[in-house]
Amino acid sequence: MTGPASVVGSKAILVERYLPLPKKNAREFWTERRIEHIRYLASCGRPLMVWDRCKSDTSRVLDRLHFQRELEEDGEGECSYQASDSISVSSRICHGRLWLEHPIYLGDMSFGALSGVPNIAIARAADLTGTLAGIGEGGLHPEVGKCRRIAVQWASARFGLDLDVLRRGEAVVIKIGQGAKPGIGGHLPSVKVVEIISQTRRIPVGVDAISPAPHHDIYSIEDLEQRIWALKEATGKPVLVKVAATNYIPYIASGVARMGADGIIIDGQGAGTGAAPAVVRDNIGLPIELAVASADAMLRREGLREGFTVVAAGRVSSAEDSAKLIALGADIVSIGTAALIAMGCIMIHKCHLGFCPALITNKIIDEPKKILSLETATRWVVNLVHGWSSELKLILEKVGMKRVEELRGRRDLLVGRGLSDSTLKVLEVRGVN
């Protein structure tokens, strides 16, 4: 196969630095401050802060949740020290069948949506950090296929799948939905469907790669069970099911668990995407914090929580976010956009056009003048994971815990500020003024 795999040795200029952030008028969740924080972690792999004292600059529910411990402290929240070595953030997931050194899943961005080098960087970073990388629905890039800690995705279009591809990696992810566009299938705009993408996805060059909205073999919960067991029959691997956070998420989560899946990836509203209709992105789906809290509560009520893994995804921007999501009931979090930012994304929202100044989501062309340095990109993601975990350990230390697993479901450690009674009820969190 040609393309990015061989590009690694091409004559193109290797990009190894971050671009300056453009000034923007529109509001944005990924503010300059959030991006700078991620860049710091990615550059040095060390912690920058324990608590984000400026989180109230958006009105996301998660930003209006605080650890009680944070409110008891003064100061900036910044820090330059590491947490005690005795604190562990490693996690056993999928009924104990997978071991992660950090409670992090590098989430589901396809080859095609990303331009090759970032896909390889993420997969290698997963191997180097002992985490897990979801490869998304775009087929297996040969370099990604050499990595061990990957999860192969079975999505509605089955792009690039066969028995051999499915048997690679550590797990299979059945992708039902994604937070950026619940109820809509994957979409790689025609402009990005070039020869190599056409080869891996097995569709003609220059047509939109559309995944059907639903899986046409999964119309019901028992159909999902049928697919889960068919994939287990074919691969012998643990199976996770990725869904968007929607109205019935508590029931869906318990259904997924009951049907024999090993875990669920719940993707919240506002999560990243390479292409989505604005009207769908903006009007459908629940924020991840509400979804995780309600799904966890239902799973516990139904006696399905033990051994089953809940992965929280969508706008997970910091270790503090992950700590809160874990306290609300997640086991681990999925990092997608933050990983792109670590590799240089400046958030100009052009992924669907195939033009990416940071060379992450650009259209693949034959002899590019510039490409992202694989080595640097890999290092950035590895550092991000380490820096992130260091901050998470500091939070664990502050709340007096030795292991991240102790934090799971500890809603009592959280308080909500300025949240409505309905929200507090769903979160099962106390409100304060």
Partner 1 sequence: MSVWRGDIVANLRTLAGVEGKTPSEPPIVSMGSVNPPLIEAPCFILDHIISDGAQVTRPSIDPYREPTETEVYLFGAGLRLAMPIIISGLNDIEPKHVSPLIHSCFRMGVGVHLEGSTAEEIPVDVRRFVLLEAEHNTLREIDGGPTIIRIDDREALVKLMKTSDATHLSGQLAARVPSTAEPAFYSSIVDAGFRVIIVDEDLGGEEPLEIALSEVDQVLKGLKVEGTPARYEVGLLAAASRIRSSSDVFKLGGLGADACIIRDAWKIAVDYRSEIATSLLSERLENLLIGMQREIKLLMGAAGVSAFQSSIVGNRELFRSIDLPLKLTERLGVKPAGE
Partner 2 sequence: MPIPSRIALNAIECVRYRGSKMGAGFACINLRGEPTAKVKLFTQSENDSMLIYRMLEERLPGRAAAKPVPEHSQDFYSISSYTIPVDAEYEDLWRAVQEVNEAIWRDGLKGRIYSWGRHVDVFKGVGYPFDVYEIFRLGNRDLDGDLWLAHTRQPTNSPGRFPFWSHPFASGEWAIVHNGDISSFGSNIELLRSIGYKSFVGTDSEVIVYLLDYLTSFQHMNVQEVAKILCNKFTLDVPDQEFIKLLYKWRGARLDGPFSVIAGFCDGHDVYLLAFADRFKFRPIIVGEDENYVYAASEEAQIRTISADARVWTIEPGDYFLASQKHGIIYPGRTMYEKYCMLASATKPHSPDEESIDASNMNYRMLNQAIHERIELGYRRVDVKNVRGQRYIGVGIDKPATLRIFGTPGNCLGNLNSCLDIEVFGNVQDDVADVMTGGRIIVHGDARDVLAQAFQGGAIYVRGNAGNRCGIQMREYRDRRPFLIIGGRVDDYLAEYMAGGVIAVLGLNYLDIETEIVGNCIASGMVGGKIYVRGDVSSSKIGLTPPRLDVLQYLRGLVLEGRLSEGKYREITSIGDLSLHTLKKFLPQEISKQVSKLYLSKYWKELVVETRLLNEHDLALLQPHLQEFGKFFNLEREVRRVIEEEHFTIIYPKTEAVTKVEEPEEG
Binders of partner 2 among residues 139 to 168 (CB under 8 A) are 157-158, 161-163, 166
Coil, helix or strand at residue 250: helix
**Closer CB to partner 2, residue 83 or residue 152?**
152
**Spatial contact of 89 and 390, defined as CB atoms under 8 Å apart:** no
Among the listed ranges 4-12, 34-42, 263-271, 373-381, the one in contact with partner 1 (CB under 8 A) is: 263-271
Tell me, letter by letter, the H, E, C secondary structure of 353-412: HCCCCCCCCCCCCCCCCEEECHHHHHHHHHHHHHHHHHHHHHHHHHCCCCEHHHHCCCHH
Site for partner 2 in 232-291 (CB under 8 A): 233-235, 248, 251, 254-255, 258
The span from the CA of 130 to the CA of 428, in Å, is: 33
The span from the CA of 388 to the CA of 394, in Å, is: 10
Site for partner 1 in 142-201 (CB under 8 A): 176-177, 180-185, 187, 189
In degrees, rounded to 5, the angle at the alpha carbon of residue 122 between the alpha carbons of residues 311 and 200 is: 100
Instruction: Give the nearest distance from C-beta 283 to partner 1 in angstroms.
Output: 4
How many residues form the binding site for partner 2 (CB under 8 A)? 46
Q: Which of 43, 58, 88, 226 binds partner 1 (CB under 8 A)?
A: 58
**Closer CB to partner 1, residue 129 or residue 334?**
334
Please tell me whether residue 425 binds partner 1 under the rule CB under 8 A: yes
- Over the window 344 to 383, marking each residue x when it contacts partner 1 by CB under 8 A and - when it does not, the resulting string is ---x-xxxx--------x----------------------
Task: Read off the DSSP letter of residue 63.
Answer: G
Coil, helix or strand at residue 24: coil
**Closer CB to partner 1, residue 83 or residue 372?**
372
The span from the CA of 93 to the CA of 334, in Å, is: 13
Among candidates 30, 40, 1, 32, which has minimal Cα distance to 342? 40
- Which of partner 1, partner 2, none binds 204 (CB below 5-8 Å, type-dependent)? partner 2
Two structure tokens written together for 410: 């500890």
What are the CA-CA distances from residue 160 to residues 56, 201, 408 (Å)? 43, 5, 36
Site for partner 2 in 202-231 (CB under 8 A): 202-208, 210, 212, 216-217, 219-222, 225-227, 229-230
Length of the chain: 433
Instruction: Give the nearest distance from C-beta 192 to partner 2 in angstroms.
Output: 8
How many residues form the binding site for partner 1 (CB under 8 A)? 80
Site for partner 2 in 352-381 (CB under 8 A): 353-355, 362-363
The span from the CA of 222 to the CA of 303, in Å, is: 19
- Over the window 4 to 43, marking each residue x when it contacts partner 1 by CB under 8 A and - when it does not, the resulting string is ---------------------xxxxxx-------------
Q: Which of 228, 343, 419, 429 binds partner 1 (CB under 8 A)?
A: 419
Two structure tokens written together for 6: 């061989």
Instruction: Give the nearest distance from C-beta 352 to partner 1 in angstroms.
Output: 4
**Closer CB to partner 1, residue 96 or residue 418?**
418
Two structure tokens written together for 47: 């912690």
**Spatial contact of 408 and 324, defined as CB atoms under 8 Å apart:** no
The span from the CA of 63 to the CA of 58, in Å, is: 7
- Which of partner 2, partner 1, none binds 161 (CB below 5-8 Å, type-dependent)? partner 2
Binding footprint of partner 2 on the chain (CB under 8 A): 157-158, 161-163, 166, 190-191, 193-194, 199, 202-208, 210, 212, 216-217, 219-222, 225-227, 229-230, 233-235, 248, 251, 254-255, 258, 301-302, 353-355, 362-363
